[in-house]
A and B are shown apart, each in its own frame.
Chain A
């Protein structure tokens, strides 16, 4: 493994964690907020603007903004077919948080789902390189800035 591909894997791992954590916490905050706000299905803008005043919703939106930015950065070098399965670990963490903090029951079928997601994400994350498209190869020259 060349120093650059090692660096790329390290960077990919770090950013994947940011993507996953901001996604889980963002959705968690948003779901708490929407429970407070109540049912909102409308083509009007006002009900959504009202929802945006809820502190949980504000926190959720900020975290999802961080998720968007970190996901875009990850996609600047990682393949979509790599990033998608790897960041799906967010579902697993969300389910476990739900059990720990909200007392959600996790049935054996749900545990099976959790295990499958971990296996799928691990297969992609450990056996394939983050990027395969040749367009990025020129970046290898300027890749090691630090």
Chain B
């Protein structure tokens, strides 16, 4: 059950981040960061199907995490999701076409190793 939830979390996180990034790329750069700009941003995001789908995927991942945290300690939950860092960097390069420099590969790998060690 634990590992099923971990798989669900990693897959849904990847899909969610990918859809959100695609949706926000189409939306264009957010310039206004003040609180009063939030309603307009929400309105525009609610009509962005990529973002709506991305949030739905993240919601599934969120409820899976909620369930995982209620049956497993944080020290199991955190490292199990570490593979997301490398998997999503691969997706960023091949699906989103980002220029993943060696510094980014190194950074993502070092972070993933660090997250695994947090369990001990």
Residues of A within 8 A of B (CB): 11, 14-15, 30-31, 34, 37-42, 48, 51, 64, 68-69, 71-73, 75-77, 79-82, 84-85, 88, 91, 95, 107, 109-110, 112-124, 127-128, 132-133, 135-136, 139, 142-143, 145
Is the contact region of chain A dominated by helix, strand, or loop, or is it mixed? helix
* A41 CB contacts on chain B under 8 angstroms: 1, 67, 70-71
Contact across chains for A81 and B92 when beta carbons are under 8 A apart: yes
Q: How far apart sit A51 and B115, CA to CA, in the bound complex (Å)?
A: 28
Are B107 and A112 in touch, CB under 8 angstroms? no
Within 8 A of A (CB), among B83-118: 84-85, 88-89, 91-93, 96-101, 103-104, 106-118
Contact: B92 with A124, CB < 8 Å? no
Interface size on B, residues (CB 8 A): 61
Residues on B facing A (Cβ under 8 Å): 1, 17-18, 20-21, 23-25, 27-33, 38, 41-42, 45, 51, 55, 58, 62-63, 66-67, 69-71, 74, 78, 84-85, 88-89, 91-93, 96-101, 103-104, 106-120
Q: How many A-B residue pairs have CB under 8 A?
A: 169
Bound-state Cα–Cα, A73 to B25, Å: 10
Assembled-state Cα–Cα distance A14/B34 (Å): 12
Report 22 cross-chain contacts, Cβ distance below 8 Å, ordered by A residue: A15-B33, A48-B63, A69-B42, A71-B20, A72-B30, A76-B25, A80-B21, A80-B96, A81-B98, A84-B89, A85-B85, A85-B104, A113-B113, A113-B114, A113-B117, A119-B114, A120-B107, A133-B96, A136-B25, A142-B31, A143-B29, A145-B31
**A69 contacts which chain B residues (CB < 8 A)?**
38, 41-42
A110 pairs with B104, CB closer than 8 A: no
Residues of B within 8 A of A115 (CB): 114
Given contacts A41-B1, A133-B25, contact A116 B110 (CB under 8 A): yes
Contact A81 B24 (CB under 8 A): no
Which chain B residues lie closer than 8 Å to A64 at the CB level?
A: 62
With A14-B33, A123-B103, A133-B25 already in contact, the answer to whether A88 and B85 are too (CB < 8 A) is yes
Are the CB atoms of A132 and B98 closer together than 8 Å? yes
Contacts of A122 in B (CB 8 A): 107
Measured CB to CB, the closest approach of chain B to A6, in angstroms, equals: 15
* Residues of A contacting B91 in the complex (Cβ-Cβ under 8 angstroms): 80
Residues of B within 8 A of A14 (CB): 33
* A84 B113 Cβ-Cβ under 8 A: no
A110's partner among B24, B63, B111, B118 (CB-CB below 8 A) is B118
